[in-house]
Chain A
Amino acid sequence: MRIPTLPKSNILCVPMKVQAMMVGQTPSPTVFADIADNFSRIARDPLGDQVPPPNMGEKTQEKPGIHLSWILPKGLRQGVQNEEDLEPAYPVVPNRWIVSRLWSTKRQPDQVLCRHWIVESDAMEKERGPNFGNEDSLTYPKLDDPLSPYRILGRSFPFEANLNEPLERLQNLNALGPGNPAFSAMYPYHVNVFGFYDELMDQSGNRLEDISVSYVIRGYYHNYPALIESEEVCRNRYGWMPPEGLIYPAFPVLHGVVTGLSWVDDGKDYNGRFISSLPMPKLAAGNSSVEAVSALHAANNLSNERLMRVLLHDQSHKLMNLNGIYHADYTDHERRFQIAAEQNSYVLQSSISDDNQQGPPDLSPDEQRLFRNLQQGLRNRYKHQSDADAKRAAIYDLWCKYIITAYTITPMGNEPAKERMEQYEYELAREIQSLNLTESALEDLGEHLKTLEQQLSDSIQSFYDLQQTAGDRFYEPNSPVLLLSGASRGNLFDSNPADGGLLKCRLLGQTIKSLKFDFKFRENLYSLSLHTDQLLPRGQVKGVYPELLLEALLFTSDIAELLVPLIGQQLDLLPLSEDEHNYLLKVVNQVLEDFTKRGIQHELPDPMFLNVWREPWNPVLLCWRGLYYPDQNLVGSHPKLDNWNFQGTDYVYHTNEPDTRESVVMEGRIFLTPHIAEQLHAMTLKQLGVEDAQTYGDLTQLDYLSQTLEGFNERFLMSQLALRFPIMVFNNGSAELADLVRNALGSFAAEKPLFNSFFSPLRGGWFKLDKLRLIDTFGQFQEIRCDQYAIAEDMRMSPVPIGQYMMLPPRFMQPTRLEFNWIQARSGANCDFNLPDSPICGWMIPNYLDQSLLIYDEDGYMLGSLIVTAFDGDRIHWRNAPGTPEREPLGGGTAGLPDGINPDMKAFLNEFLRRSREHQEDVLTPFLDLIDSALWEIHQPDSAGSSGLSQYAGKPLALVKASVKLVQAGPPEVYKFFDTFKGPDSPPDISIQPFKMPLWIGETHHTGDGAIGFFVHDGQTGYKQFNSSFADTGYASDYFKHNHQVDVPADDQANGTALSLIMDPYASIHLISGMLPVSEHQLPQDRIEAALKRLYLTFYLGPLLAGGESYVMPLTQLPNRQWEFITPEDDGEWVETTDLQPSNGNAFLISSPLRAVEGWLKLKLAESSESESQ
């Protein structure tokens, strides 16, 4: 037996989906949206504002007939970013399509007629008309032709027609077309490119009626190099499974069929009734898809909303921890923001091995100075970059004013218009010059940084690597997200993951050529092989790759009707009775069915290629319109949060009823994605495992579509995300100026300015949806009910999840960050923990036995203690450390504070002493009580080692310095005023500068939060007032303020708010504002350990029974520690005894005379360790 050889070929048959829409009588009201861009308007509006149609535009009429659209395979729709800084590259798509209509009438179902058209996707003309074959084609930008900056793209004509070569051809057509991500997906954008309109006319010019129709599409590359260079490219780049025998380089040929259309006539309404019968999707809104879907489930009583959010955010494991609910809340809150920008900073990474116990040496003073200059230089560079971008935005705004003046407001020749244009030209030149200076400074700065980097790297290379790492982040709030459930999303864009996710493709030679029929008829057995080229008369088969057409014919819905007479003819069985005809129909259908099942793995193409028609409905676009009701207190010259209460991590409005007196219309268009279903699926798999998750069905097929309301946030800053065109002029305006502006802007992504419109750098208010329109791939739309919908917990006041108004808590609309810095204890500069900087001014340990506060300097050496004495009046005394001369002045009273003490520590201590001295006020006792209260809430496991010593006497707390500041990316946004545009006569006084953002320092009941309290250095209170959430409201003294909130000004010229904090050094501090994500800050452990290792403890001891010279007491021997006993002598001197005899229980009678002594037992670092640490 001869083994058939596999065919070899360089043609790869790639299946694709084809969809069709029948249109008869346009329903009233219409269901067709007008969404196509009109690039012909560019000539009179170089900004492109008039190119897109109105947001809720409609078509009153759609052409009757059948509209076809084919969906490119995923591999041709995806771009690949080869290098980080480059835009993604999209592959070239086929530029020729053969559309073949196969139809039969009801009267003659066994007679299949065929007609073919060619669609040339790349044909471009300047005009439209039947002679050009592009009556239904759409416009396409051609910006390098100033006289006619657009073309008509694509044409179609009957196969047998002979059209002239078009004016030009578009090279390298890709799925994005003119830059529209929906170009290849939506028919209204791509008629005669990836779509075709069949008016269903016969040769006489009459419309066909009562026919069964199928269409076969074949797409190929004309005059283009082979796309598939290798097997690797085929698999990895395009996701196509190459068949065995494919020769490279190979050409892909796309093919697909839609069958089962039943066309009656053009008087029938195929669309209106269908659209009105669609189920109404459920709607939900949130700050993210997760919030929206959680709200939706809560509204349907399906699950606990909050828990579902925790699950979908993958935070459920955190709930097992002591502070888990805080962490889950913080994460929840953080997901309401997005990172708008990130700034790097320099770090020093040790380059010596971990085995080296000593670690790298500290940097020399010169190296430290270099490093600080580098950090500052990098910060300056970011600032310059932001300034440059702000300047570019201002230049673009000016350019818009210039163009609007030139093309829209007043016609050419008008003197005032000319003067204005001259004025704008002058301003533009000035701004461009300023931008050039900034860029020049940037360049110089860049070079300077390179030099500094090199210098420092050379100096420290033996021990350190100098690197950059992600640092500060600027945040902006998420725009609201809308989610639709039950929108009857089809599977048009789903890929079929077979064979490891690769699309099954075939060689051209692998197409089906014949079909075998074995059956019994009229008492005889018959076996017949019918070849596909017998299905159609030769003259009816047109176009390249006819195999694909003939194969597709086998899968059309009425093929059995065609095959029965053919079989009859071949076997000479005609004529057939009606029963025999029906019998043979059954036989043929059975053979086809069996073949389909059997051939799926082998000869047949991927099922994707066969589309049995049903009414198309694949919604992808949502047009939205809503009303924003701002809180008037936030829009003005002095914004205030008077109408907002803070709860937990965010704000809520003070009443349930929104203030709807003023409203702002907002609208836009968004492309919906099913991503949330995939996220649900992934989380369910993770939490439940594969087996249990399967009980919930295929969650990836959940009918959820969602998307952020893009452009919502930009509206607050008078911008709009809209199609922007390159800087150009046509018949009006200066081409030279355009060149200057274009060069100045470079690749800057400009946003369309909305002059004289609503401006609010602070968002806060209510939002209500007014109109929603869901649009499918053919431009059909469904109006979505939006009077009541599920609203996420954070966006509503009511416990009931259903409502109409979304509450929008206050947010900064310009990217903002909260800058928190630890401040060096002595110098006042910001700390950089790559260097030996420390913000610790000193240490304190509360001693409840003696009612005192032990005080240590920043290095851990004991200075003394504040103690409550029994003296009348001035009760609070300072005692120097035991062993210090003049610990206590002769005659009693307070000793002087030691020299050289940190100034902040001194000021802190002096306040206690001053109040005692001047007002006989004891604030030390309530202060100790306050710390005691705080220690009920703080539980941070200390590290092993030195801090364990604190357990003997108390918990060491640190006095540290810090500052907080609000920083916005770039200069503050201002009102975009255009004096000749409709609107106010002058820019309204709206500013964020006077705004002060409340900031809560420390999360009181979070056991890992170590904030005890703080002092604010505002020039008034300083160390005179201690702010703490642990302060008892019943304290009579004004020293204590029950408060843990501080105001941070938004003024970009303001210095940071300086603070001194008393905190548990091992715990962290949370900064909570609601308007930004919660931030957490902690002191580096190595800064703490060095001091705490040195910190020594003294315990007052007495009476101790002693005899002779030695002291015997049961002492614990601790590694690297030694004991001393310090006793005062009568003459005021101190004696330090180090040779302490450890006692055990043995009978050891001390020698006489027996005496009782008192003193201080001191536990300190052993001398050998001391010298090491120094």
Chain B
Amino acid sequence: MQARTDWDNSPHVIRRQVRRVLGELAALAKDQPVSPEPHDDELIAWLSQLCLLVNLPFHYLIPAESMLPANSIRLFYVNPNWLQALVDGACSLGRNASLDLTHDQELIDAVITQIGKRVKAVRPLLQNKTVTPKELEDEVQAIGGFLLRSPLVRGWRGLEFKALSSQGTSLRALRIELLSDDVLIGLFEGVPYTLEMAQPPEGFFFGFNRINGEFSKRLRDLDSGELLSESDSVEVVLQNKDMRTIDVYQTAKNMETYFQKEVTSAEFALQMIKTPYIGRVIRKDE
């Protein structure tokens, strides 16, 4: 009876104590290493996906078609304040009384820090790749990306995208995903200054250029296979323009003439390989 009266404290004292405890909990949580295992912390994992705009209603990103017309690409920078508001909103379920608000107020920073680290694991895990905890030590500071609306999306499955920073360093891809047959979203760790889109490299094919009606092939070094300069080109001889066939023999001869040596069939094949197209979108403002 006597001992219990000691802790029949006023509400203000109790709240102060509760806030203190929550604060300590938050401090502990903030520094906790993030586990890449999907089942270790489902809440952080889900929120990480949310911060990559997964399952977000599309019309909240692109309310009107005019903002993303057909055959267009738009680059953007994700507003971290908006993301924090999104996370806060998602966490606001069950926030009934000021006790819940206090709890969230004390802990939200820690949660966001954890999310900032965990977002890097979303894509690799979807690809069934492993992620080491070391990779998740640092928070993502900024997220930038693009939205592409184009038949390319439908036509070229496996388009590869690479983003580079203003210093030319490669940016980690956080999310690259089809949103529909012709819409694709990509998010990177950092703001892309250069965006390269490359055809999928899996299939080999032969090809040559047609410039001003003339057919030519830019040659490669026979040893290294690297492309030579633009001027190092030979004519590709057509056998039948209507049938769209070329004269392999004559074209090979043109190559021999350039290289001053006999060109084998393998060497001919090397010369005829066409590398995937890469499209680059480069930011001009500095």
Give me the interface of A with B, judged by CB distance under 8 Å.
Answer: 306, 325-326, 329, 647-650, 793-794, 846, 848, 931-933, 935-937, 950-955, 1004-1005, 1030, 1105, 1107, 1112-1114, 1143-1150, 1152, 1154
Minimum CB–CB distance from A351 to chain B (whole Å) comes to 41
Minimum CB–CB distance from B153 to chain A (whole Å) comes to 10
Question: Per a CB cutoff under 8 Å, which of B1, B8, B60, B65 touches A1105?
Answer: B60
Is the pair B179, A1147 in contact by a Cβ cutoff of 8 Å?
Answer: yes
Query: CA A1144 – CA B60 in complex, angstroms?
Result: 11
Is the pair A1149, B97 in contact by a Cβ cutoff of 8 Å?
Answer: no
Question: Per a CB cutoff under 8 Å, which of A326, A936, A1112 touches B57?
Answer: A1112
Is the pair A952, B14 in contact by a Cβ cutoff of 8 Å?
Answer: no
Is the pair A648, B1 in contact by a Cβ cutoff of 8 Å?
Answer: yes
Is the pair B57, A647 in contact by a Cβ cutoff of 8 Å?
Answer: no
Query: CA A889 – CA B15 in complex, angstroms?
Result: 41
Give me the interface of B with A, judged by CB distance under 8 Å.
Answer: 1-5, 7-8, 11, 14-15, 18, 53-60, 62-65, 93-94, 96-99, 179-180, 183
Q: Which residue of A lies closest to B4 (CB)?
A: A648
Question: Per a CB cutoff under 8 Å, which of A936, A951, A1030, A1145 touches B56?
Answer: A1145
Known: A932-B98, A936-B97, A955-B97. A1149 touches B1 (CB 8 A): no
Is the pair A1145, B180 in contact by a Cβ cutoff of 8 Å?
Answer: no
Minimum CB–CB distance from A992 to chain B (whole Å) comes to 26
Is the pair A1005, B62 in contact by a Cβ cutoff of 8 Å?
Answer: no
Is the pair A793, B1 in contact by a Cβ cutoff of 8 Å?
Answer: yes
Q: Which residue of B lies closest to A933 (CB)?
A: B11
Is the pair B53, A1030 in contact by a Cβ cutoff of 8 Å?
Answer: no
List 22 A–B pairs whose Cβ atoms lie within 8 Å, in order of A's numbering.
A306-B3, A325-B4, A329-B1, A647-B1, A650-B1, A935-B96, A935-B98, A935-B99, A936-B98, A952-B93, A953-B96, A955-B96, A1105-B59, A1105-B63, A1107-B59, A1114-B56, A1143-B57, A1145-B53, A1145-B54, A1145-B55, A1145-B57, A1154-B59
Residues from chain B with Cβ under 8 Å of A1152 in the complex = 64
Other A-B pairs beyond A1148-B180, A1154-B64, 13, CB < 8 Å: A326-B4, A329-B1, A647-B1, A848-B97, A935-B97, A935-B99, A954-B97, A955-B97, A1005-B8, A1114-B57, A1143-B55, A1147-B183, A1149-B64
Residues from chain A with Cβ under 8 Å of B180 in the complex = 1146-1148
Most A-side CB within 10 Å, residue of B7, B18, B62, B99: B99
Query: CA A1113 – CA B8 in complex, angstroms?
Result: 47
Residues from chain B with Cβ under 8 Å of A325 in the complex = 3-4
Query: CA A848 – CA B102 in complex, angstroms?
Result: 14
Residues from chain A with Cβ under 8 Å of B57 in the complex = 1112-1114, 1143, 1145
Is the pair B65, A648 in contact by a Cβ cutoff of 8 Å?
Answer: no
Is the pair A951, B94 in contact by a Cβ cutoff of 8 Å?
Answer: yes
Known: A936-B15, A1147-B180, A1148-B58. A647 touches B96 (CB 8 A): no
Query: CA A326 – CA B53 in complex, angstroms?
Result: 49
| A-B CB proximity, top 6 nearest | A1147-B179, A648-B1, A935-B97, A1147-B183, A1147-B180, A951-B94
Most A-side CB within 10 Å, residue of B3, B4, B57: B57
Question: Per a CB cutoff under 8 Å, which of A306, A937, A954, A1107 touches B96?
Answer: A954
Query: CA A649 – CA B59 in complex, angstroms?
Result: 61
Is the pair A329, B4 in contact by a Cβ cutoff of 8 Å?
Answer: yes
Residues from chain B with Cβ under 8 Å of A1143 in the complex = 55, 57-58
Minimum CB–CB distance from B4 to chain A (whole Å) comes to 5
Is the pair B8, A1004 in contact by a Cβ cutoff of 8 Å?
Answer: yes
Minimum CB–CB distance from B59 to chain A (whole Å) comes to 5
Query: CA A954 – CA B180 in complex, angstroms?
Result: 38
Q: Which residue of B lies closest to A1150 (CB)?
A: B59
Is the pair A1149, B59 in contact by a Cβ cutoff of 8 Å?
Answer: yes
Query: CA A648 – CA B99 in complex, angstroms?
Result: 26
Residues from chain B with Cβ under 8 Å of A932 in the complex = 97-99
Minimum CB–CB distance from A1145 to chain B (whole Å) comes to 4
Is the pair A936, B14 in contact by a Cβ cutoff of 8 Å?
Answer: yes
Query: CA A794 – CA B1 in complex, angstroms?
Result: 8
Query: CA A649 – CA B4 in complex, angstroms?
Result: 10
Query: CA A793 – CA B3 in complex, angstroms?
Result: 12
Query: CA A786 – CA B179 in complex, angstroms?
Result: 91
Is the pair A951, B93 in contact by a Cβ cutoff of 8 Å?
Answer: yes
Is the pair B96, A848 in contact by a Cβ cutoff of 8 Å?
Answer: yes
Minimum CB–CB distance from B180 to chain A (whole Å) comes to 4
Minimum CB–CB distance from B91 to chain A (whole Å) comes to 12
Query: CA A329 – CA B180 in complex, angstroms?
Result: 65
Query: CA A1105 – CA B56 in complex, angstroms?
Result: 13
Query: CA A237 – CA B172 in complex, angstroms?
Result: 88
Query: CA A951 – CA B63 in complex, angstroms?
Result: 31
Is the pair B55, A936 in contact by a Cβ cutoff of 8 Å?
Answer: no
Most A-side CB within 10 Å, residue of B18, B59, B93, B179: B59
Question: Per a CB cutoff under 8 Å, which of A793, A1112, A1114 touches B2?
Answer: A793
Residues from chain B with Cβ under 8 Å of A1105 in the complex = 59-60, 63
Residues from chain B with Cβ under 8 Å of A848 in the complex = 96-98
Q: Which residue of B lies closest to A1005 (CB)?
A: B8
Minimum CB–CB distance from B151 to chain A (whole Å) comes to 14
Query: CA A329 – CA B8 in complex, angstroms?
Result: 14
Minimum CB–CB distance from A1103 to chain B (whole Å) comes to 11
Q: Which residue of B lies closest to A955 (CB)?
A: B96
Residues from chain A with Cβ under 8 Å of B64 in the complex = 1149, 1152, 1154
Residues from chain B with Cβ under 8 Å of A1113 in the complex = 57
Query: CA A1143 – CA B60 in complex, angstroms?
Result: 11
Most A-side CB within 10 Å, residue of B3, B14, B58: B58
Is the pair B96, A951 in contact by a Cβ cutoff of 8 Å?
Answer: yes
Residues from chain A with Cβ under 8 Å of B56 in the complex = 1114, 1145
Minimum CB–CB distance from B88 to chain A (whole Å) comes to 13
Is the pair B53, A931 in contact by a Cβ cutoff of 8 Å?
Answer: no
Known: A933-B11, A1149-B65. A1112 touches B59 (CB 8 A): yes
